[in-house]
Structure 1
């Protein structure tokens, strides 16, 4: 039984109630993935923007960040050296939209994240200390006008007739115009967001050529009668890059599902949680 509880982080922002913009109920865009990095033994915590434009580019809060902390919730000592002035020292990277997956390269232990984008883009990013992911949904930037609740993370992306290229210009997932030094994603779909979610690295000789490759999952979003996403992709990264060398879809006998979480088991199998209420175990052939 659980005999005691210690809250090591208490001030991660959380969206308490629905707001005036068209999407997202309470709890939306909260990130929520936690993983220990075997390379440095710190806990990495991913958070989201809560549909709040005052979080991503400002360091006085823990929203839209990846945190790097010890087991007592204290900042990793090296965090502060890479951060802009005024940032909470628990911050490892900032400027994120909604980081739903994090995994660590088997050789370098570099954190690799999956970042759930707006209607036009998802990203896979390799994090560096103090890095800015370039998400900034504030109004009156890049030619934007007023937006519901001062959050331009969707508007007017959902407008009919706006093609994907225009959406990216209006509300870029990574705004290089404003933040030219923002981290460059390893991969983007640059089409419609397909609801990227979790990430893990396949490990073990049983996986053959896939040993050491990154797997990322998708929740899928339907447009009209054509759903997209709902799959697992296998991505080959250069060992010391990382640079994507290959990206393919994993054949799944069970078919599509809203893949919510991926984790490697001690038996060398890949386990996946899906929104439909099952846990799948995938073994190599």
Structure 2
């Protein structure tokens, strides 16, 4: 056995509600050498953005360039029936999730960049459809961000359902940090909440207020590309890209302001300051932040018995540093970090499948299953 050094990061809350980060070094025991291996499920996919697992053991994979792939018994089929999708910068065909009651209703939810509406370019849209044979049918758009813009930045696009069956999704600030995230009359820089058929819930926090996008659930976000329901609390957890530093994990709460760009642990890519404030009254501090940034993407809680040492941990992909990060949680706080699958490539998504195994999607490589040794 050998000692693997981990960084223990404990979030402490002071009397005024601010968050501060205390770093100490701890160790975790692990056997010599690797404790897992990867098995290729589907190789040669350029930008596999999202994954969903069907009851028959097959898999749906979105390819950002505009293809929805059905992977069954090692065979790959392109699924027709998608709406018109704009591929621009970071955007294209993005996330895919199944309705919690998929086996009875068959609904599949997708995020994509839609050109519909006024102006050139596009913006993030959410749709649902059913799979009939190997084709999408009954497609309907549930929400479309506006206005269209030719900016290729910050589409957000992750989707999740909470334990009550509400649909949540993210739209990034679209590169307009000074216009969108803090303005409730504008799409962008927000988390949204809908009924599964696209209706706006009557108890959404801004319902009934004039001049406000009433699907908004929380605001002040930059570019959330990780979203998952906590398996015990049922709350929606997200992570979002910071600029240069300040990637964040947040727990989404109704009507809350998460501060971007008025508060941040990050700085401009040029090295100049965005703001001198990391916390402020009325703005939610992050549960955890990565500084320097890891460029997080994809997010999954491990509940499976397949990986005893990972159970109850949070897994997050790193685009920037090409690894999977395991975050150890204790009493709702991040207490340790570990790098897994170092050098695997730009890890875009991570999901725990119904079979209990964890799958990752890697840009330029494809889909891989993680198997314990």
TM bucket, shorter chain: 0.7 to 0.9
* TM-align CA RMSD: 2.6
Distance 2:324 2:358 in 1: 11
- Give 5+ residue unaligned stretches, structure 1: 17-25, 143-153, 221-228
| Mapped partners of 2:317, 2:364: distance in 1 | 14
Matches within 5 A, 1:153-232: 157-159=268-270, 162=271, 167=272, 170-172=273-275, 175-176=278-279, 179-191=280-292, 193-220=293-320, 229-232=321-324
Gaps of 5+ in 2: 1-134
The verdict on how the C-alpha distance between 1:172 and 1:211 changes in structure 2, with shifts beyond 3 A counting, is farther
Pick the structure with more strand per residue.
2
CA–CA distance in structure 2, aligned partners of residues 174 and 135 of structure 1: 11
- 1:49·1:63 contact (CA, 8 Å) conserved in 2? yes
The corresponding residue for 2:219 is 94
Matches within 5 A, 1:134-149: 134-136=259-261
Q: Distance in 2 between matches of 1:45 and 1:203?
A: 23
| Alpha-carbon shift at residue 13 of structure 1 (Å) | 4.8
Whole-Å Cα distance in 1 between the matches of residues 360 and 181 of structure 2? Answer: 29
Deviations 1:56-83 (A, max 9, x none): 0011122110111112212233222699
State the structure with bigger RCO (CA 8 A, min sep 6), 1 or 2.
2
TM-score under structure 2 normalisation? 0.58
| DSSP-derived class of the 2:237 partner | strand
* 1:268-283 matched pairs, under 5 angstroms: 268-283=356-371
Q: Please state how far the C-alpha of 1:175 moved relative to its aligned partner.
A: 4.9
Give how far 1:256 is off: 3.2
Matches within 5 A, 1:1-285: 1-16=135-150, 26-37=151-162, 39-52=163-176, 53-80=178-205, 86-136=211-261, 157-159=268-270, 162=271, 167=272, 170-172=273-275, 175-176=278-279, 179-191=280-292, 193-220=293-320, 229-238=321-330, 241-250=331-340, 252=341, 255-285=343-373
1:204-227 deviations in Å (ceiling 9; x for gaps) = 12221321211111100xxxxxxx
